[in-house]
């Protein structure tokens, strides 16, 4: 049974080598989506062969066991790589290297048979399975040439003075500074010049977002970011963060708005004077944000006069 399965190890060796190259040349997200599910089987099959040297495994249980063993190896690789590098960028590379070594070892150490005799002895179902895996390898090669589309997005977020996205300042005092951190991460697949505009609105009521009484343009910050791949580990990886302090100018219910422009600021919102009121322009920006034509953030503030 082990000898008849040598062509599985040949297919596993080829796929592992292709995966190894793809992990070096292609985006790690593409490599994971394309190779990891099938790679787990070819990680497990050589291990099943080692087990079969000491005990008999039913043929129907070979692939489920190979999948479980491959999943265990892939999980162990992920844990080790995360512990060493704090990221998952090299998981496919390491897993592919292990699969290459295991399949190559089985080819070298496995029982040798005459190739012609082996081909004649392969059952019809094995031949069909071999054809299926040849098609699979062709699809994998196509994946390397034509990778999966990656969603393009920009992360835009606001942190309080403790570096958290919750418990934003609410009760504030006129004349005091509000300490915030603005963060942007570029996953657009290209270099982007970003422009953050800061606006302050006087509100009739903080419970009614449509009760805007006035809109004051406060500040603008511009910067350029290169594309940064999305991390697969789930660990938060900031790209660009900067501190922003706002001095509370007046009492009453207020709302701080942050609007993010890509590449350039439209002419009607450019060259505005900080501290001046631009009611119509501000309302238009709010409407654009509601229609998702513009990224925006906002927090409510309840400003009181300083005591004494």
Determine the Cα–Cα distance for residues 306 and 143; give it in Å rounded to an integer: 63
Q: What is the pLDDT of residue 308?
A: 62
Looking at the fold, whether 73 and 184 belong to one and the same domain comes out as no
* Residue predicted with more confidence, 292 or 139: 292
Buried/exposed 236-270: b ≥16 CB within 10 Å, e otherwise: eeeebeeebebebeeeebbbbbbbbbeeebeeebe
Question: What pLDDT, in 10s, does the model give residues 195-227?
Answer: 999 999 999 998 888 899 999 999 999 999 999
Which has the minimum average pLDDT: 77-81, 122-126, 186-190, 199-203?
122-126
Q: How many CA atoms lie within 13 A of 53 on its CB side?
A: 9
Looking at the fold, whether 138 and 17 belong to one and the same domain comes out as yes
Determine the Cα–Cα distance for residues 268 and 169; give it in Å rounded to an integer: 31
For residues 265 and 195, is the Cβ–Cβ distance under 8 A? Answer: yes
Determine the Cα–Cα distance for residues 90 and 82; give it in Å rounded to an integer: 9
Query: Which of 179, 58, 34, 42 shows the shortest CA–CA distance to 104?
Result: 42
Q: How far is CA 50 from the centre of its chain?
A: 37
Neighbours of 11 (CB within 10 A): 21
What band does 41 get if pLDDT is binned at 50, 70 and 90? confident
Determine the Cα–Cα distance for residues 19 and 109; give it in Å rounded to an integer: 23
Two structure tokens written together for 210: 């449509």
What band does 114 get if pLDDT is binned at 50, 70 and 90? very low
Looking at the fold, whether 141 and 157 belong to one and the same domain comes out as no
Question: What pLDDT, in 10s, does the model give residues 229-239?
Answer: 877 555 678 89
How many domains are contained in the chain? 2
Question: What pLDDT, in 10s, does the model give residues 91-106?
Answer: 777 777 888 887 777 7
DSSP 77-110: HHHHHHHHHSSSTTHHHHHHHHHHHHHHHHHHHS
Q: What is the pLDDT of residue 45?
A: 79
Looking at the fold, whether 177 and 94 belong to one and the same domain comes out as no
| Rama region for 236: left / alpha / beta (φ>0; ψ in -120 to 50; rest) | beta
Looking at the fold, whether 42 and 121 belong to one and the same domain comes out as yes
Q: What is the pLDDT of residue 91?
A: 73
Query: Which of 191, 209, 208, 171 shows the shortest CA–CA distance to 296?
Result: 209
What band does 131 get if pLDDT is binned at 50, 70 and 90? low
Looking at the fold, whether 297 and 181 belong to one and the same domain comes out as yes
Looking at the fold, whether 164 and 298 belong to one and the same domain comes out as yes
Question: What pLDDT, in 10s, does the model give residues 240-293?
Answer: 999 999 999 999 999 999 999 999 999 999 989 999 999 999 999 999 999 999
Looking at the fold, whether 117 and 226 belong to one and the same domain comes out as no
Looking at the fold, whether 131 and 162 belong to one and the same domain comes out as no
Crossing angle for the helix pair 6-25 and 124-145, nearest 10 degrees?
10
Q: How far is CA 177 from the centre of its chain?
A: 35
CB contact set of 59 (below 8 Å; sequence gap of 6+):
1
Q: Which domain holds residue 12?
A: 3-145
Two structure tokens written together for 89: 């960028």
Looking at the fold, whether 76 and 137 belong to one and the same domain comes out as yes
Q: How many CA atoms lie within 13 A of 146 on its CB side?
A: 3
How much is the mean pLDDT over the chain? 79
Looking at the fold, whether 88 and 181 belong to one and the same domain comes out as no
pLDDT (average), residues 117-140: 52
Query: Which of 134, 136, 121, 130 shows the shortest CA–CA distance to 1?
Result: 121
Question: What pLDDT, in 10s, does the model give residues 162-185?
Answer: 989 889 999 999 999 999 999 999
């Amino acid at each position: 049974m082990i000898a008849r399965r040598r062509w599985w190890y040949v297919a596993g060796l080829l796929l592992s080598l292709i995966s190894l190259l793809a992990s070096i040349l292609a985006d790690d997200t593409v490599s994971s989506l394309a190779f990891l599910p099938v790679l787990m089987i070819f990680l497990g099959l050589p291990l099943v062969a080692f087990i079969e040297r000491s005990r008999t495994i039913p043929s129907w249980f070979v692939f489920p066991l190979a999948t479980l063993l491959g999943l265990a190896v892939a999980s162990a690789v992920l844990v080790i790589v995360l512990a060493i590098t704090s990221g998952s960028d090299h998981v496919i590379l390491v897993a592919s290297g292990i699969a290459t070594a295991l399949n190559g070892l089985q080819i070298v150490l496995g029982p040798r048979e005459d190739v012609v005799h082996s081909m004649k002895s392969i059952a019809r179902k094995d031949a069909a399975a071999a054809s299926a895996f040849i098609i699979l390898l062709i699809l994998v090669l196509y994946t390397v040439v034509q990778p999966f589309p990656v969603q393009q997005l920009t992360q835009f977020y606001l942190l309080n003075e403790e570096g958290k996205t919750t418990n934003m300042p609410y009760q504030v005092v006129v004349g005091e500074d509000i300490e915030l951190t603005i963060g942007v991460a570029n996953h657009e697949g290209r270099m982007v010049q970003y422009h953050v505009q800061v606006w302050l609105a006087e509100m009739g009521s903080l419970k009614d977002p449509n009760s805007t009484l006035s809109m004051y343009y406060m500040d603008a910050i511009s910067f350029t970011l290169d594309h940064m791949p999305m991390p697969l580990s789930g660990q938060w990886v900031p790209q660009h963060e900067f501190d922003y302090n706002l001095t509370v100018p007046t009492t009453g219910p207020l709302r701080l708005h942050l609007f993010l422009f890509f590449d350039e600021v439209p002419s009607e919102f450019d060259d505005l004077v900080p501290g001046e009121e631009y009611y119509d322009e501000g309302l238009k920006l709010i409407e654009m944000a509601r229609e998702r034509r513009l990224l925006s953030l906002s927090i409510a503030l309840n400003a009181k006069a300083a005591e004494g």
